[in-house]
Structure 1
Amino acid sequence: MILSKLVLLKYQFVISSLDPVEVYMLGIEINRQSEVSLKRQIYHKLRDYILDGRIAAGEPLPSTRELAKDLAVSRNTICEAYDMLLAEGFVLSSQGAPTRVAEGLSIPKESSEEFLQKESQSYDNIKADFRTGQPDLRYFPRYMWNRILYKAMDEMPLYQFGYSGPDGLTQLREEISGWLFRSRGIKVDPCDIFITVGATYGLHLISGMLYEEGKEILMEDPCHMGMLRALRNKGYPVCPVPVDEHGMIIEHLDGKAAWAIYVTPSHQFPLGGILPAGRRAGLIRFARENGIYIIEDDYDSEFRYCGEPIAPLYSMDPQRVIYVGTFSKVLFPALRIGYVLLPRQLHKKWRYLRTHTDVQNPPFEQAALAEFLRSRKIDRHVLKMKRLYGERRKALLLALAEQFGNTWHSWGDATGLHIAVEFPGMQFGYEFLHKCKTNGIILKSVEYHSICKGKHLDKLLLGYGHMEIDEINKGISVLNKFITSI
């Protein structure tokens, strides 16, 4: 009998006879109490040995009789495991010859454990966490949401358990229309509202509808890095348009051959400016003259601390502006429900594209969100969180003044869940961010979100929505000590 040269020990027994896991020839472990069948356990182990090269190409496997004896299982179990390997092409078998490993199967393992260890170390021993776009999930009414979700699923008509189409649930679109009127003061026909899996996914679909070969999308610089990557990953060229404290500088649009313009006019990300009426009008004129659309991302503008939310650009020209909104920051990111307000002429394209990607959002969360909106629970939740975030914003500004004196100033409007802070004369490049990370300080710079590098090296982004006031004070103190030490 020819056995693999890797079989060094015929038997290896476990220490305790009570342990259900037994170790045998080739180091195969079988667990007789597992829900996974013995044949599949044996198949998995042999397959793994073949893939990682412990059993080399051309080497024979033990005979089914010998391996069955060593593992104390029936020969049929081994035959079935070998048949699975044979069916998938891991081994070759011929009459009167041993079963041998096929050629070209070895795949050396990557050091995934090291990679995972490095990733986990990134967030070990965090001393200050200033990540942006992080709502405080501790204050979300989970019990209330669970009750609404259960009730919505229990009462949902059976036909909605199937494919309900690319538009979204009718009742949710109607409630979003009411929400937009209450919170933004804009009237939207529910049939112009389409449900998406968040704002970034909405941008994926919109760009797929509008893209024209040989043209670029005009995009604020700096901008939301997630949106920029979404476009670049699709191979679409991006033309950066600089911003100032008021948002996109529209004079830089002249002469550009574009298929769309992407803006965050109510709260520019990341600098926080509000696009003034004159620039908004100029932006719409440019879009009309060039026959293109404006993609308006209404980024976390629900949380404005010195007045009502800014009216969307959409209200000035619903046929030229595509509005993208989301409930990720208002409720919780895992909800993955956003929405797009589309001009009528784009409805057909949207439905076709969505139908041939993922068809629809799950209906249960849509129904629950519709009830959350209908009962005005979202209005009360937003009001509560707005007060909370407003207090934290004040605490952050006070902590900056106490720790850094007058060596800094903030950018933008009092809106959102982060502050852009400029430290004149300082530079916060990649090396600085890396040192912060290794020292337990989690943050991003404006430079990180810039398309054209080198213009905003002196600005940091400090998220505060998820931090208690004592965490904010401690974090700014840690940041001050770190900056003065380098």
Structure 2
Amino acid sequence: MWGIKLHHRAEISLSRQIFLSLKERILTGQMSQGEALPSTRELAKSLGVSRNTVCAAYDTLLTEGFLVSRQGAPTRVAQGLHIEHRQAFRTESLPTQRKKPLVWWDFKTGQPDLSHFPWQLWRQMLRQAAENLPADQLGYSGPKGYEPLCQEIARWLLRSRSMEVKAEDVFITAGATQALHLLTGLLYQEGQAFALESPSHPAIHTMAASKGYPLHWMPVDQQGADIGALTGKAISAVYVTPSHQFPLGGILPADRRAALIRLAVKNNFYIIEDDYDSEFRYSGSPVSPIYSMDCSQVVYVGTFSKTLFPALRLGFAVLPKALQAKWKHARTFTDVQNPILEQAALAEFLHKRKLDKHVRRMRQLYGEKRKLLLRSVKGAFGSSVHPWGDVSGLHLALQFPGREFGEQFVRDSRQAGIKAVPLARYCPSQTNHKDKLLLGYGHLSPGQILEGIKALRQLLEKTGLFSPA
């Protein structure tokens, strides 16, 4: 009856099936407004179900306004419900996409080696957090973050960076990306540009540009950003990666740092210091952050994506007092807070010095991989290729003087099963540094590094981008 077909073994209840079927017929005009429905007894008999099942369906239709009912009169379809269904917008048929070739040698950047992470210990700490967290911590805790974690991060920064930070100034984020997203909104001043390194990571300039904020680019050399490019410019904030410039790898020297601080104080703008992987320095101690020179105009942003694992989505920002109220407001109406279990587990991980131990171990492993990669590059290309950057991080920039790596190289490398990114992609115009490739190595095994560089040389010989002497 009424074209209703019931499926007795379906996941959806029979009453819900009746409701959905009648609703569809009302909206499409198969049942006209004002049309009377059969009695619940009649419809139940015709469908072979109990009257209560039909009553439940009718009640839902009445509640949502699809039917109207008056005592002593039949139940009828409500007025004004017919929706003219138009044919879905059709685009021109696209050519069938070819299946993407497999990538055997993936030199992507910023990827830690997760095979050495102490997963069993981490799971144990997650269980302890679930068992020990008091009930009042499972509600809305606010935008600052789990306070014990803020305290442990302050202690971690003192141990690892010699930074004297108060826990009250530490704010937990969903990774560095969220911190940068919030900061672009908080720090923008009408008509004044965000100053960014060129080349740089696309995250912050994508966020700023998507909001319509003007950008000003600072050229980068082997020592980092050219601070002189800021002279006379109206600036909202300056974004820098001074401890290990991304992607060229230089360290911003003290005189440039001091010049940047003087400009920030004089012109009343903030410096966003992104310290994304300085734990992994393979010669000497970690580089001191700008924050340690003068914290009044610096927002220090850190993340645990490289030291632990990216899916954790935990980072932090150390905020000057003047920004904290605005930050709390913005974060409250963005996503309120981070998941509490991961924060509590990380606080314990830091408290028991497990992160210290893990970083020491990974620093040694990554340092060995870096040496192997450099030896492999020298063996494959000789002295014709020049590595850029300090002895830090999880990637290398390699310069091939006189060569250019463009989109054709990207296509050729993918076909060869290699993922190696031209560094020009990180430049705003993609016209600078065209002779450089970016190779990440942290996640690769020694065998993958050796075979990957061998495959890269074969590709460059084949495409005419390298000729053996």
Determine the C-alpha separation between the residues in 2 that align with 1:96 and 1:158: 50
Match for 1:478 among 455, 458, 466? 455
Matched, 1:150 2:130: no
Match for 1:37 among 8, 13, 25? 13
Instruction: Tell me if structure 2 keeps the 8 A contact 1:219–1:238.
Output: yes
Aligned to 1:189: 166
Match for 1:280 among 257, 273, 291? 257
Aligned to 1:342: 319
Aligned to 1:450: 427
Partner secondary structure for residue 406 of structure 1 = helix
Q: How many residues align?
A: 451
Match for 1:105 among 80, 85, 91? 85
Aligned to 1:441: 418
Shift, 1:31, TM fit: 6.5
Q: Supply the AA of the counterpart residue of 1:176.
A: I
Encode CA deviations 1:383-435: one digit per residue, 9 max, x unaligned.
Answer: 11111111111121122222223331111111111111111222222332233
Q: Percent identity?
A: 48
Shift, 1:352, TM fit: 2.0
Instruction: Tell me if structure 2 keeps the 8 A contact 1:90–1:102.
Output: no
Determine the C-alpha separation between the residues in 1 that align with 2:385 and 2:274: 29
Shift, 1:132, TM fit: 0.7
Which has the higher mean CA deviation after the structures are superposed, 164-173 or 265-274? 164-173
Shift, 1:60, TM fit: 6.2
Alignment of 1:37-116 (within 5 A): 37-40=13-16, 58=29, 102-106=82-86, 108=88
Instruction: Tell me if structure 2 keeps the 8 A contact 1:417–1:465.
Output: yes
Compared CA separation, residues 109 and 182, structure 1 to 2 (3 A)? farther
Matched, 1:159 2:136: yes
Q: For structure 1, which runs of at least 5 residues remain unmatched after alignment? A: 4-24
Compared CA separation, residues 359 and 404, structure 1 to 2 (3 A)? same
Determine the C-alpha separation between the residues in 2 that align with 1:84 and 1:473: 66
Determine the C-alpha separation between the residues in 2 that align with 1:451 and 1:219: 10
Determine the C-alpha separation between the residues in 2 that align with 1:460 and 1:91: 66
Aligned to 1:307: 284
Q: Supply the AA of the counterpart residue of 2:119.
A: R
Determine the C-alpha separation between the residues in 2 that align with 1:199 and 1:347: 17
Q: Supply the AA of the counterpart residue of 2:125.
A: I
Aligned to 1:351: 328
Q: Supply the AA of the counterpart residue of 2:102.
A: N
Q: Supply the AA of the counterpart residue of 1:147.
A: Q
Aligned to 2:375: 398
Aligned to 1:266: 243
Determine the C-alpha separation between the residues in 2 that align with 1:420 and 1:90: 64
Aligned to 1:464: 441
Shift, 1:381, TM fit: 0.4
Compared CA separation, residues 127 and 30, structure 1 to 2 (3 A)? farther
Determine the C-alpha separation between the residues in 2 that align with 1:209 and 1:432: 40
Instruction: Tell me if structure 1 keeps the 8 A contact 2:198–2:220.
Output: yes
Alignment of 1:378-417 (within 5 A): 378-417=355-394
Shift, 1:108, TM fit: 3.2
Instruction: Tell me if structure 2 keeps the 8 A contact 1:240–1:452.
Output: no
Aligned to 1:129: 106
Instruction: Tell me if structure 2 keeps the 8 A contact 1:420–1:461.
Output: yes
Alignment of 1:417-432 (within 5 A): 417-432=394-409
Which has the higher mean CA deviation after the structures are superposed, 412-421 or 341-350? 341-350
Encode CA deviations 1:188-217: one digit per residue, 9 max, x unaligned.
Answer: 111111111111101122222211111110
Compared CA separation, residues 128 and 42, structure 1 to 2 (3 A)? farther
Partner secondary structure for residue 190 of structure 2 = coil
Matched, 1:297 2:267: no
Encode CA deviations 1:110-136: one digit per residue, 9 max, x unaligned.
Answer: 89xx99x969x44x5222111111111
Aligned to 2:467: none
Q: Supply the AA of the counterpart residue of 2:424.
A: E
Instruction: Tell me if structure 1 keeps the 8 A contact 2:196–2:217.
Output: yes
Match for 1:318 among 295, 298, 301? 295
Determine the C-alpha separation between the residues in 2 that align with 1:448 and 1:29: 57
Aligned to 1:361: 338
Shift, 1:58, TM fit: 4.7
Determine the C-alpha separation between the residues in 2 that align with 1:86 and 1:400: 73
Partner secondary structure for residue 453 of structure 1 = coil
Instruction: Tell me if structure 1 keeps the 8 A contact 2:193–2:213.
Output: yes
Aligned to 1:21: none
Determine the C-alpha separation between the residues in 2 that align with 1:41 and 1:385: 57
Shift, 1:471, TM fit: 1.0
Q: Supply the AA of the counterpart residue of 1:405.
A: G
Determine the C-alpha separation between the residues in 2 that align with 1:325 and 1:457: 30
Encode CA deviations 1:78-99: one digit per residue, 9 max, x unaligned.
Answer: 8877987898799999988999
Aligned to 2:205: 228
Determine the C-alpha separation between the residues in 2 that align with 1:110 and 1:417: 45
Matched, 1:172 2:149: yes
Determine the C-alpha separation between the residues in 1 that align with 2:395 and 2:292: 26
Matched, 1:140 2:117: yes
Shift, 1:164, TM fit: 1.5
Partner secondary structure for residue 480 of structure 1 = helix
Partner secondary structure for residue 383 of structure 2 = coil
Instruction: Tell me if structure 1 keeps the 8 A contact 2:6–2:14.
Output: no
Compared CA separation, residues 109 and 88, structure 1 to 2 (3 A)? farther
Instruction: Tell me if structure 2 keeps the 8 A contact 1:221–1:241.
Output: yes
Partner secondary structure for residue 330 of structure 1 = coil
Encode CA deviations 1:294-335: one digit per residue, 9 max, x unaligned.
Answer: 000002111111111100010011101110001111001111
Instruction: Tell me if structure 1 keeps the 8 A contact 2:67–2:77.
Output: no
Determine the C-alpha separation between the residues in 2 that align with 1:118 and 1:168: 45
Compared CA separation, residues 57 and 153, structure 1 to 2 (3 A)? closer
Partner secondary structure for residue 284 of structure 1 = helix
Compared CA separation, residues 274 and 29, structure 1 to 2 (3 A)? farther
Compared CA separation, residues 97 and 354, structure 1 to 2 (3 A)? closer
Aligned to 2:182: 205
Shift, 1:70, TM fit: 10
